[in-house]
Structure 1
Amino acid sequence: MKAIFDERQLLHDPERYFRRGAYIPHPEQPQRAVLIRDMLARNGFPIEQPRDFGLDIVKRVHDPDYVDFWKDAHERFRAEAGDAEAIPTYHPGHRPGRRSSSIYGQLGWYTTDTSTPLTAGTWEAVYWSAQTAIEAAERICGGERMVYGLSRPPGHHAMREAANGFCFFNNAAIAAEALRRKYSRVAVLDIDTHTGNGTLDIFYERADVFVCSLHVDPDVYPTYYLGYPDETGEGEGEGATLNLILDPGAGEDVILGRFREGLAAIRAFGAEALVVSLGFDMAMDDPLSVVKMTGKGFDTMAREIVRMKLPTTLIQEGGYLGPSLSDNAEIYLTASRDELAAATTRKV
């Protein structure tokens, strides 16, 4: 199983952002990708660079003006503000959703998030993160069974025309759009601990891409507002969205039970190819986690996804600088590779 990664993804290097009334060190650091990259090398995964596919597929997923904005946004900010930190603070309003009962959620409803600071390297990083996702999907279109895209910054919170939750371009949605050139029905399975709200936003009215997001209840946990069970799609997309909710404190058995509901729904949809938004932030020791996933659980998820027998693009999402990040990535990806090898042996 190949991995795709470009070193330019490390150039986005935010220092801090404003969260729950205080500045905190930004958890989405380049070191996240370095740890996983080094683990891949130790375990003998081929790591290849993406080709440059340009912005056509990115602009099919995102508003073209939104995409173009990021090209020179940092330079424009510097010209106006000098050395001030480029943390977004002016916001025109909110997008569709519902108000959370949490004070933190309500503050965000009436403002928005500050988690996407601009740095000098942001454009290159998000561009090559998207190219990594496209390359991984193109390898699947070319006949490979499973490819891992180490996309960083992550993407599943990025909406059609809005950055959100550390995310600028929605890499999983971009990969799904790339797969659509070969496969008529594609599913996105989001197993990050946070709602894949951006992916929901992008595909909510489409029938050709099924989005299943497994996440902690958005009434009380970020990203808030989107990802409730009764949100099932609109128009042509009615029935093509499934939100599987976890309560804070949920254990591994509960998580895996809900995960299997998602696999069953993907089978019922008749998916011909799969994108996995792969988050390791469900781990019980992840700095952002409120559930109790273990390495054993990640191993189980990996093997059951392989047993779906679908051409699969894995796209890295969350998983932050806790003690087990590299270990959980190793467990998941080596389990995937081992299960693929076992399936090949069984065929022979």
Structure 2
Amino acid sequence: MKAFFDERQRAHDPKHFMANGRVSANPEQPQRIAELSRGASAANCNLIAPTDHGLGPIAEIHSPEYLTFLETIHSRWIRTEGASDEVIPNIHPDRRTASYPKSASGQAGFHQADTSCPIAAGTWQSAYWSAQTALSAADSVLAGEAAAYALCRPPGHHAFGDLAGGFCFLNNSAIAAQALLRAGRRPAILDVDVHHGNGTQGIFYQCKDVLTVSLHADPARFYPFFWGHAEERGEGEGRGYNLNLPLPRGTDDENYLAALDVALNRIRSFGADVLVLALGLDAHENDPFHGFSITTPGFARIAGAISGLDLPAVIVQEGGYLSADLGDNLTSFLNGYGK
């Protein structure tokens, strides 16, 4: 399987993460790259540098206003007296239709959903090349590869069209799906991260051309809280083109696979001819977020079930945080795909 990664994705090195009122070390660290690279190599994947597709494919998903913000906000932020080294918002609008502020602080609140997506000097560069990695994997599949793996870091599935959140800045899975759609394909996005892909859902919520399906921990008491509930089915032309399968905390291999069957049947009903797989490895039993109890061999079984769709697939890395099992989980999944 071809695999893609760019060294510039290491530049994003966030220091802070706030949850439950406590500031701690951010878990979306560059060290994830070493573990994921190890896992990919063990599955006989050699990482290839992506091609630069420019901003055009990214701007099909994200507004120019938002892209300008991501590219310039850090340099503007640090000019403020007493500002921190990282852009972290302290105020948010009460509605998305609110007026657009001129200040760096106000724009941070408008474009950053939470405190888990701090923007530092290297963030834009890393996010840009993470998106190019996904686009290059999509190119590979369009050229005839059965599957391609994109080691995207930072991840992307919590990013909306003009809103960062949950460690995510550019929605790599959505960008890849849009590129496939532009090429005349009929893409479905299957998100198996332990957290709901709320940004991906939001981007395509009124669209009938891209099916979005997500299996995740029930958001009633789990991030992202406000999205990912079963009754969210899409709006307008997109009604019926979004499927959420929220599962109980601690869901194990067998119960996960049963829910996955429902997801795969929906993808078949859509008539997809290509798959974007938003691969979160944070469903593992030892992941720091402790959402599910998927075992390392369980990832191979999940991969085998998904490959049973017999669709060309762009596999986009989403979550999966530092533990001794992270690389092994990726190896298990990639080895299990197609078997």
Normalising by structure 1, we get a TM-score of 0.90
1:249 deviates by: 2.1
1:116 deviates by: 0.9
Structure 1: how far apart are the matches of 2:283 and 2:176? 23
The 5 A counterparts of 1:38-187 are: 38-81=38-81, 84-86=84-86, 87-93=88-94, 112-187=113-188
2:36 paired with 1:12? no
Residue identity opposite 1:72 in structure 2: T
Structure 2: how far apart are the matches of 1:136 and 1:225? 31
Structure 2: how far apart are the matches of 1:321 and 1:71? 28
Residue identity opposite 2:45 in structure 1: F
Residue identity opposite 1:287 in structure 2: P
Structure 1: how far apart are the matches of 2:81 and 2:62? 27
Structure 1: how far apart are the matches of 2:16 and 2:51? 31
1:184, 1:208 within 8 Å by CA — same for their partners in 2? no
Identify the range of structure 1 (193-202 vs 285-294) with the bigger mean alpha-carbon deviation.
Answer: 285-294
Residue identity opposite 1:260 in structure 2: D
Q: Which residue of 2 aligns with 1:284?
A: 285
1:156 counterpart SS class? coil
Q: Which residue of 2 aligns with 1:243?
A: 244
1:36, 1:329 within 8 Å by CA — same for their partners in 2? yes
1:74 deviates by: 1.1
1:34 counterpart SS class? helix
Query: 1:197-253, CA deviations, whole angstroms, 9 ceiling, x for partnerless residues?
Result: 000000000000000000111111001101111110111111100000101122221
Q: Which residue of 2 aligns with 1:297?
A: 298
Structure 2: how far apart are the matches of 1:62 and 1:289? 31
1:333 deviates by: 1.0
Q: Which residue of 2 aligns with 1:105?
A: none
Structure 1: how far apart are the matches of 2:61 and 2:113? 22
Identify the range of structure 1 (295-304 vs 41-50) with the bigger mean alpha-carbon deviation.
Answer: 41-50
Query: 1:141-182, CA deviations, whole angstroms, 9 ceiling, x for partnerless residues?
Result: 111110000000000000111001000000000010011123
1:324 deviates by: 1.0
Q: Which residue of 1 aligns with 2:106?
A: none
1:183, 1:273 within 8 Å by CA — same for their partners in 2? no
Normalising by structure 2, we get a TM-score of 0.92
Structure 1: how far apart are the matches of 2:95 and 2:151? 31
Structure 2: how far apart are the matches of 1:184 and 1:321? 35
Query: 1:10-56, CA deviations, whole angstroms, 9 ceiling, x for partnerless residues?
Result: 11001112211110110000111121113323443121001110111
Structure 1: how far apart are the matches of 2:214 and 2:181? 20
1:196, 1:227 within 8 Å by CA — same for their partners in 2? yes
Point out where structure 1 has 5 or more consecutive residues left out of the alignment.
97-110, 340-348
Residue identity opposite 2:4 in structure 1: I
1:315 deviates by: 0.1
Q: Which residue of 2 aligns with 1:344?
A: none
1:112 deviates by: 4.8
Query: 1:79-132, CA deviations, whole angstroms, 9 ceiling, x for partnerless residues?
Result: 124662322222112569xxxxxxxxxxxxxx9510111111101000000000
1:140 deviates by: 1.0
Structure 2: how far apart are the matches of 1:28 and 1:122? 12
1:275 counterpart SS class? strand
2:230, 2:244 within 8 Å by CA — same for their partners in 1? yes
1:68 deviates by: 1.8
1:311 deviates by: 1.1
Structure 2: how far apart are the matches of 1:328 and 1:42? 11
2:180, 2:186 within 8 Å by CA — same for their partners in 1? no
2:130, 2:172 within 8 Å by CA — same for their partners in 1? yes
1:18 counterpart SS class? strand
Structure 1: how far apart are the matches of 2:163 and 2:146? 32
Structure 1: how far apart are the matches of 2:183 and 2:218? 34
2:27 paired with 1:27? yes
Q: Which residue of 2 aligns with 1:345?
A: none
1:245 counterpart SS class? strand
